Amino acid sequence: MSLLGISVFLTLTLNSAVYSESISSNLTSVDSMEVVTKYSLFSEYYKNKDFNSALPYGWEVIQLNPEKFSKWVYGKMEDALWQMHDSADTAPEVKKAIEDTILSFYDIAIKYNSVEKAYYQARKAFVAETWLELPFEEVTAMYEKAIEYDPNISTYYYNHLGQLYKSKAEEDLEYKTKALDLFTYLNDREPDNQIWSDELESLVDNIDELVELTKKAWLNNKDDAARAWKFASLAMKAGRYSEAVEALEFLTQKSPESLNYWSQLATAYQKTDDLTKAEATFKKLIELEPNEQDNYLNLGIVYKDKGQLSAARTQYQKAASLKNGWGLPIYYEGLLYEQAARNCGSFNFEDKLVYQLAVDTYRKAANTDPSLTQARDRVSALSSSVPTKEDYFFRKYKSGTSIPISGNCYGWIGRSISVP
């Protein structure tokens, strides 16, 4: 080993407790110019990819003042350590020294670069899994801590954790449930990524069995909220909504401020056509979260399903007002007019006017949100249902004239259309 290699080796194998203590003492006494000099040497060697020479200076910078260059030094140090570790030219004893020290390095990086702590925690978990092959419980706890720090970390690390869960899924129901939850989250996060769908398919073959097992576990201890949620969430995923209702009702009583429980319960009521309870539950959600647009949209859908079209429109309009650029509630308003024309009309002129109102509303939805292709599809589908030029001509309506919507079924609409 070269002298520089020996220097790296000796530096990396510092006793971690002594090293941490020296950091604390040096923070108050170190010469700032010395730190700058060491960092400049480190950066120069790093830039030239001379990692063997760079690392001792990097460790000195961290030892002298771990905060001063925290935005840069830890990322460069990590890269240098990985490059050295993975290089075929690195001596086995130096590689071993890196492995012996890498977790302590990440602990320091997490402590002194809190902005990137989720990243460093995830990398710590990765090396614990792949370099060090630490026990399952230790590694999964590290990945879980990274996700706790930042749920938006790379799906790469989520997948590693999911694979670990899967490796124990046949032995322990809890890990099968965790794997299912994790890959469901990834599928929602990246719906176009077939990998997550495939992972779910490999897990849900026995989802009904899982539902039964978690249901039994809850019934054996009905005051256990964690067991109730496991059962309810799996029952919802399996489409067994009526079974989920009891557990979700229990959970909303036990935790009346939990938005998630109320939201899931409202969905379960909708799926089981218990519209009265669904209405009451969405109203409760609005009470708890008055500025959440989805609650108004969903309440509007309930009113639509109950045939209360005017009330549905009011909720759709409220939802649209809470989020600029959201065309979906406007699209649903168009569906109300189209539904009214289909249910009430006999395709006379008054009915055609309602279809025109639906088309105008769909166009508004598409203009608000250009990605809303279904709105443009409805405009095309209704092209032969709206009034023709002849319809207006024979009734002596001129371009720009405003025609109010009227008719026995349309009193609730209270709108007009403009002759093109």
Looking at the 3D structure of the chain, how many domains does it have? 1
Question: pLDDT value at position 154?
Answer: 96
What are the residue ranges of helices labelled H in 238-385?
Answer: 241-254, 259-271, 275-288, 293-305, 309-322, 328-344, 349-368, 373-381
pLDDT range class, residue 207, cuts 50, 70, 90: confident
Question: pLDDT value at position 211?
Answer: 87
Residue 329 domain flag: no
Question: pLDDT value at position 230?
Answer: 85
Say how many Å lie between the first and final Cα of the chain, rounded. Answer: 86
Whether residue 346 has pLDDT greater than 90: no
What are the residue ranges of helices labelled H in 131-274?
Answer: 136-149, 155-167, 173-189, 194-203, 207-219, 225-237, 241-254, 259-271
- Range of the structural domain that residue 95 is part of: 1-112
Q: Are 319 and 300 in contact (CB under 8 A)?
A: yes
pTM above threshold 0.95: no
Length of the chain measured in residues: 420
Residue 25 domain flag: yes
Q: Are 272 and 241 in contact (CB under 8 A)?
A: yes
CA distance 154 to 157: 6
Question: pLDDT value at position 6?
Answer: 40
Single-letter code of the amino acid located at 78: E
Single-letter code of the amino acid located at 23: I
Residue 31 domain flag: yes
Residue-wise pLDDT for 35-93, tens only, equals: 899 999 999 999 999 998 999 999 999 998 998 898 899 999 999 999 999 999 999 99
190-198 mean pLDDT: 82
Comparing 269 with 213, which gets the higher pLDDT? 269
Question: pLDDT value at position 181?
Answer: 87
Comparing 210 with 345, which gets the higher pLDDT? 210
Residue 212 domain flag: no
Query: Would you call 412 exposed, middle or buried from its count of C-beta atoms within 10 A (0-12, 13-18, 19+)?
Result: middle
Residue-wise pLDDT for 10-36, tens only, equals: 454 444 434 444 444 444 445 678 889
Give the lowest-confidence range in 44-53, 159-168, 205-214. Answer: 205-214
pLDDT range class, residue 341, cuts 50, 70, 90: very high
Residue-wise pLDDT for 366-415, tens only, equals: 999 999 999 999 999 999 999 999 999 999 999 999 999 998 889 999 99
Residue-wise pLDDT for 88-145, tens only, equals: 999 999 999 999 999 999 999 999 999 999 999 999 999 999 999 999 999 999 999 9
Whether residue 356 has pLDDT greater than 90: yes
Angle of CA points 358, 309, 270, to nearest 5°: 110
Percent of all residues in the chain with a pLDDT value above 90, rounded to a whole number: 74
CA distance 161 to 178: 10
Question: pLDDT value at position 31?
Answer: 64
pLDDT range class, residue 3, cuts 50, 70, 90: very low
Residue 317 domain flag: no
Mean pLDDT of all residues in the chain? 90
CA distance 200 to 372: 28
Whose tokens are 């809190």? That residue is 114
Secondary structure element (H or E) that encloses residue 39, with its range: helix 32-47
Question: pLDDT value at position 173?
Answer: 85
CA distance 186 to 160: 12
Q: What backbone torsions phi and psi does residue 418 show, to the nearest 5 degrees?
A: -105, 130
Residue 12 domain flag: yes
